[in-house]
Structure formats: C-alpha cells, structure tokens
Amino acid sequence: MLDLSGKVAFIAGAGCVGEGWGNGRATAVLMARQGAKVFGTDRSAEALEGTSAVMELEDHRQWFPHTCDMTSAAEVEAAVQACVRRFGRIDILVNNIGGSAPGDPVSLSEEAWDGQMDLNLKTAFLGCKYVLPVMERQFEEEGVGGAIVNVSSIAHMSHQVGGRVNVAYATAKAGLGAFSRSTAIAYVRKGVRVNTVVVGMMNTPLVATRLAGQLGVDLEELVAKRNASIPMGRMGEAWDIANAVLFLASDEAGYITATQLVVDGGVTAAR
C-alpha cells in the first residue's frame, strides 16, 4: 500500500524553520520511507540541513537537497533540470511553499501583497510550469502519469486563523485551489493528476518561530487557544499533512484529480 518504489518526488519546501517536523520535512521523509527517490528544495540551506540529517540517520541514500528560491523562474527551471539529471525523471511534485502576512487591504503595503502572491501562488505556478513538460513527456513515452499535490490552507475557507486578518494570504490560497483545479482539467488526458491538501491549524515549528511573535502572545497560551478551537480538541501534526499528501500522490489515488482534501480536525465544518 502507498508504495512509491521507483518513483521520483520533487518536493518544494522540504526544509523546516527550526528543529522538529514541518509539513515539508515530514512529507519528504515519509516519501523516502515509502521507497521514493526524493529531490527536496528550500530557499534556506540551513532548513534543508535538518531534513538531510534525518535522511542520513534513516539511511535514505536516494535523497538530494537543493537550495532554490521557488519564486524565481530561473532557479526553479535549474532545480527541475538538476532533478532530472540526478534521477532521470519526476513522478511526483509537491508544492509546499507558503507563509502568511497579517493585514487588511488598507494596512497591507503593495509590496507585502505582491510578496504574498509570489510566495503562496507563483511558487506553485512555477513548479508546475517546469515539471509538467517532464511528466507529459514521460506519459507519452512510457504511459506512466504523474501526480501533483499543492498545499493550501483553510485560511481561504471563511476562516481567519486565531482571529487574524490576512487577506493576501487567504486570497492567494483561494487562488491556489482554482489553479489546481484548472491545471488538473488541462492535463487530465495527459496522464497528470493535480490535487490540493488544505491544511488546518497544525502544531509545527512555525507556531513557535513565527505565529506567536506575529500575534504577540505567549506560546503556551496560543497553543491552548488553538487546541480549544478545534472540534477534535487538538491541533494536527506535520505527519497528518504528510500522510494526506502521500495518499494523493500514490497510485491508490489514481482516480482522484481536481479535488481538495481538507485536513483540519473538523474546524471548517464546525464553523
């Protein structure tokens, strides 16, 4: 089940903003455990080092880290080419780049708005732009399709996490859902499936390193508040996201495309 042996996964955002398990690191390691060769990018070499340390500890020798700014077309194109040179193909693309900046249309600067669109939406566009031709060629030559999973957020589903207003982030993530569905239909006869994992409130290093500071609250207080707001009574973990991504990327999800898998402990349904 969920065997990825022989497959190559290109994971954008495979690092982590500190110690522990972020969504990208957990996804990269889980796919390696399932037999995939994993090419992981992050704009921070330090963030990738932690993932590399886990891969080395678990003896996953088919792992290759590559520093890349996924908002740069030239760097993304070079990273895709490097992956193909290294492993010969790309079967799975995971676009796991993102980050929120608080603000409403008046308080947000134009620069911040543009930055949010680039970080949360353009990165997926560029990943698809350069990986899709590889997958299409493989399908034409071998009859073997590809799978793309874009990582979104419940912030675009009438839910402002923790009471924050983050209109640019919410808008970009809503756009990511539309981008995924449109791309899925454009490539449905070309052997490529495209789906979206919609992430709820997760207890990852981002909570401690970024969110608590943005909100100006005590970390323990923030964690308790977020846990209490979720019907299941707790935040999710990076592994919850990694398992969802793994399923959608696997052959077991071969008849699933243009859909969203919400992983949020029931938050959006309850609200």
> How confident is the chain (271 residues) per 10-residue block, as mean pLDDT?
97 92 97 98 97 98 98 98 98 96 94 98 98 98 97 83 81 97 98 98 78 66 88 96 98 98 94 78
Q: Which residues of 24-39 are buried (b: 16+ CB within 10 A; e: fewer)?
A: bbbbbbbbbebebbbb
Residue 269 resides in a domain: no
Looking at the domain assignment, is residue 2 inside a domain? no
Cα–Cα distance, 222 to 203 (Å, whole number): 11
pLDDT for res 157: 86
pLDDT of residue 158: 63
184, part of any domain: yes
Residue 142 lies in a domain: yes
pTM metric for this prediction? 0.95
Counted domains in the chain? 1
- In a domain, residue 258? The reply is yes
Axis crossing angle, helix 123-142 with helix 167-186, rounded to the nearest 10? 10
pLDDT for residue 220: 82
Residue 1 domain-assigned?
A: no
pLDDT of 261 reads: 98
**Catalytic residue annotation:** 169
Tell me, what's the pLDDT at 8? 98
- Whether 3 is in a domain gets the answer no
**Phi and psi at residue 185, to the nearest 5°:** -70, -35
Residue 60, domain member (yes or no): yes
Angle (CA) 57-62-65 rounded to 5° is 80
Single out the residue of 115, 160, 153 nearest to residue 241, CA to CA: 153
Q: Residue 25's domain spans which residues?
A: 8-264
CATH number, domain with residue 73: 3.40.50.720
**What are the distances in angstroms from CA 23 to CA 133, 217, 234?**
26, 23, 17
